[in-house]
Amino acid sequence: MLKEIAIRNFAIIDDLELTFSEGFNAFTGETGAGKSIILDAVSMVLGGKSDPTFVRDGSERAVVEAVFSCGDSMEIIQEILHREELLDDADFENLMMTREIRAEGRSIARINGHNVSLSVMHEIGEYLVDIHGQSEHLSLLNPRKHIHLLDRFASNQDLLKTYREKLKELQSVQHHLKLLRVDEEESLRQKDMLTFQINEIESAKISENEEDDLKKERDRLGNIENLNKYVRQSLQYLDGSNPEIPGIIDLLGLLTKSFENLVKNDGDIQMVSDSVFSISDQVNEVFDFLQRYQETLEFNPHRLEQIEDRLMIINGLKRKYGGNIPNVLNFAAKAQEKLSHLENSEEEIANLEDQEKRFINELSLLACKLSENRMSSARKMSHDIEIELGDLRMTNAKFHVSMTTRADENGLFNASGQPLAYNENGFDDVEFLIAPNLGEGLKPLAKIASGGETSRLMLALKNSLASADAIPTLIFDEIDQGIGGRVGSVVGEKIWNISQTHQVLCITHLPQLAAFFDVHFHVSKEVFDGRTRTIVQKMDRNSSIHEMASLLGSDTEENLLAAEAMLKDAQSRKLKEK
């Protein structure tokens, strides 16, 4: 509900703070006093259009701040705030909405101190207040919302929740299917490409270290002459085949014999003697290795050509598949995985298609149940609203809830097995139709004429749907337009009935309607310091009697008695209803 509002420098309002109550808050006052301006301020703070002309002359900006308790709309408002990353405290009790309009035209919207877009403020505002009358803020004239009101009337909330959860599962399966159902030619092209890539890599039979080994071998073959030269030289040093240089092996042989003799004479040098013998053995092993190595040092131009060809193949694979051999091998593994996935996709598609059929069948049953509930509730709703219209002197008015469907070969199935288009609400399209006068055909609610009939219809709808409407605050702006005093008391009683489940703010010129107030505000204007400003006073019973007498024409004794009688009559009818 709307708990408080503060309005500063807005049109002829300089500084106004109001605290509202639960129940029926009635506003009366002379035309032009500022009642509709207060409503404009409320509309602004709910995300309505701004206009720099709203800024009071001589001021830089106009500010409207409103404090709400969210009631049954708390959960969905928390979802919106969470989505917009504005939820500082999940357990907040009040919601503060602020709108600031600068004289140069700039507008700023804030929720709980956070700057927000106007669209977010408007989205949240739709769950807080519903304004009926001269404003465009008419939820009942929005056909898209009719199905939600009918579902509340039919108590379909739990069934809808189950339906929507199942719908998400179906949409997930269908999304997966869409990804798998690639064009047949594209699928074949991918298979051919992957097969070619895999065969190209596998036929090369490359190994991770092969490139390094080939490069080493290529370098060795390219230096074969130098290798032969240095091997011959090393062998000469070892075996003494060069007459000018004694061989290392022969010299070590002499050295070992000398150490044999030393050991015979002094056993303490045995360890050193062992080292000499070990060195001699190692040198002989080096000699044997060099002889074997020399036998491999044969220039082979055919082998060098083979190595270059092999390296060319490896470099080609590296350029195409990843820059190095590990990446090439990894590419082949992933390509094989993709190929297997494509080859197995037919089986996966078949499994998903089975799931899709199962979900469609389950959703079809849920949608049929939703439609059945709506159908029976639509009849009751139409009957209830026609009774309300009769009370409001529209005895011949007819009301009808239109439920239609659209054929769709890919849709859900109704009870007759016909496939129908569907969405998050099932397969029904709902719209309210009205024939205000006898002999007129039913027409969409959004297209009926304005005036007294519209006001009474809005009231009849709201009274019938009060229990189904989750919006906590309803504002009726001169709903008495085109309504005489005889109907005024009926309208007042019905508005008071609505106020038992909703907070109601009602601007009216009818004393018969205002008499049902729980709280009465009088709106007037005065000239102060050369400027006109709006004043709002909370009335006591005596003040209310004088105000209603004024609404009857003048503050005469006769009108005062009539006003007091109205209050007593209203009080009696309210007690009777309780």
pLDDT of amino acid 297: 79
Question: How far is CA 416 from its chain centroid?
Answer: 36
DSSP states along 414-444 = -TTS-EE--BTTBS-EEEEEEE-STTPPPEE
The two structure tokens encoding residue 472: 């906590």
The answer to whether residue 357 scores a pLDDT higher than 60 is yes
Which H/E stretch holds residue 94? strand 94-102
The answer to whether residue 451 scores a pLDDT higher than 60 is no
Mean pLDDT check: name the lowest of 124-138, 208-222, 385-399, 481-495. 124-138
pLDDT of amino acid 91: 65
The answer to whether residue 31 scores a pLDDT higher than 70 is yes
Alpha-carbon distance of 357 to 450, in angstroms, equals 48
Secondary structure letter of residue 225 according to DSSP: H
pLDDT of amino acid 137: 45
The answer to whether residue 45 scores a pLDDT higher than 90 is yes
The answer to whether residue 136 scores a pLDDT higher than 80 is no
Q: Is 526 exposed, middle or buried (0-12, 13-18, 19+ CB in 10 A)?
A: exposed
The answer to whether residue 181 scores a pLDDT higher than 80 is no
Instruction: Name residue 506's beta-bridge partners.
Output: 26, 476
Q: Please, what is the angle between helix 485-498 and helix 325-391, to 10°?
A: 140
Question: What does the CA dihedral 180, 185, 187, 192 come to, rounded to 10 degrees?
Answer: 180
Vertex 132: Cα angle to 154 and 63 (nearest 5): 120
The answer to whether residue 400 scores a pLDDT higher than 50 is yes
Tens digits of per-residue pLDDT, 77-123? Answer: 888 888 888 887 666 788 999 999 998 888 999 999 899 999 999 99
Question: How far is CA 86 from its chain centroid?
Answer: 14
pLDDT of amino acid 230: 86
**pLDDT band for position 34 (cuts 50, 70, 90):** confident
Question: How far is CA 282 from its chain centroid?
Answer: 79
Alpha-carbon distance of 483 to 74, in angstroms, equals 36
Average pLDDT over residues 476-496: 79
Report the predicted TM-score, pTM, of the whole model to 2 decimal places. Answer: 0.62
3-state DSSP: the chain helix, strand, coil percent, rounded to 5?
Answer: 55, 20, 25
Q: Report the SS3 class of residue 147.
A: helix
List b or e across 454-493, with b for residues whose CB sees 16 or more CB atoms inside 10 angstroms: bbbbbbbbbbbbbebbbbbbbbbbbbbbebeeebbbbbbb
Q: Residue 100, CB half-sphere, CA atoms under 13 Å: how many?
A: 13
Mean pLDDT check: name the lowest of 130-134, 221-225, 376-380. 130-134
Cβ neighbours, 10 Å, residue 325: 19
450 vs 331, more confident? 331
Average pLDDT over residues 48-55: 88
**pLDDT band for position 135 (cuts 50, 70, 90):** very low
482 vs 406, more confident? 406
